[in-house]
Amino acid sequence: MNLLLHICCAPCAMGVIKRLNSERIKYTGFCYNPNIHPEDEYRKRYDSVISLSKDESFEVISNNDLMLEYWKEKLEPEKNKRCGVCYALRLEKTARTAKEKGFDAFTTTLLVSPWQDHEKIIEIAETCSKKYGVYFLYMDFRPYYREGKNEAYKRGYYLQKYCGCVYSYNESDHKKKPVYKF
């Protein structure tokens, strides 16, 4: 199998790639996360994914769109409404890219996080799979979450304090943060 792996961040990717490597699944990373704001936060996460790909010797396809205007129009402040929009945008782009570049399947590191809506991710990914005719490889990566985070910390990869969008940033409790408004 030749898999396109959507990567949200290096810490989440750590456990996922360990599982994929253990199953001898060939993968290429796909870094597409236009939801991450502000731009300096995006750069920290992106640079960390690129460092991980070099350290673990896998290729990464990048799409560095930052779509603040899109999010201003599309996102709802309520978490249960906004997360589905974000998942759909990233998973559709992943499925379409997998189809265009000849991959057999796609999956996402979003499936490692106990904080994400696992069922919603699966539902959206399966819809994208049907739409583009590319197999969605479902694996429950959540058992690898803590191990991946710990390994990322040991290796010095950037560990973010919030999911990515402006709303999740403003809801986070990390200290010394300015508050962003649309």
Structure confidence by residue, pLDDT tens digits, 134-170 = 999 999 999 999 999 999 999 999 998 877 766 676 7
Over residues 71-126, the pLDDT tens digits come to 666 666 665 677 888 899 999 999 999 999 999 999 999 999 998 999 999 999 99
pLDDT value, residue 121 = 98
The CATH class of the 2-171 domain is alpha beta
Kindly give the interhelix angle for 145-155 and 10-22, rounded to the nearest 10 degrees: 120
Domain ranges within the chain, ordered by starting residue:
2-171
The pTM assigned to this predicted structure is 0.90
- Enumerate residues 6+ apart whose C-beta is below 8 A from 46: 31, 33, 62, 64
